[in-house]
Amino acid sequence: MISIKNFKIEVISTTKSKWHEKKKTHIDLKIPLVEIKTVYEQEHVYDSFELNRHLEYWKEKANHWGEEVKITFNIEEGE
């Protein structure tokens, strides 16, 4: 039996440009702004269907405009 521990989902937002109100255009930032936010954390995931449900949901939430979803967990072999 496989044990899934320390399940964590983080959303990573990267901003590469900002709107300049006076020039009415986007200006590229020299250093992109990266914001990491933990949106879900669970100590143990007991069911692979529960893990799959989380993966499918967050796969749909990720967009293509500078936002990524990072999912980390540890797998141990149980008895």
Which DSSP string corresponds to 3-41?
EEEEEEEEEEEEEEEEEETTTTEEEEEEEEEEEEEEEEE
Confidence at residue 64, expressed as pLDDT on a 0 to 100 scale? 64
pTM, two decimal places: 0.73
Provide the pLDDT for residue 66: 65
pLDDT at 69: 86
> What is the pLDDT at residue 72?
92
Residues of the chain predicted below pLDDT 50: none
Question: Tell me, what's the pLDDT at 45?
Answer: 83
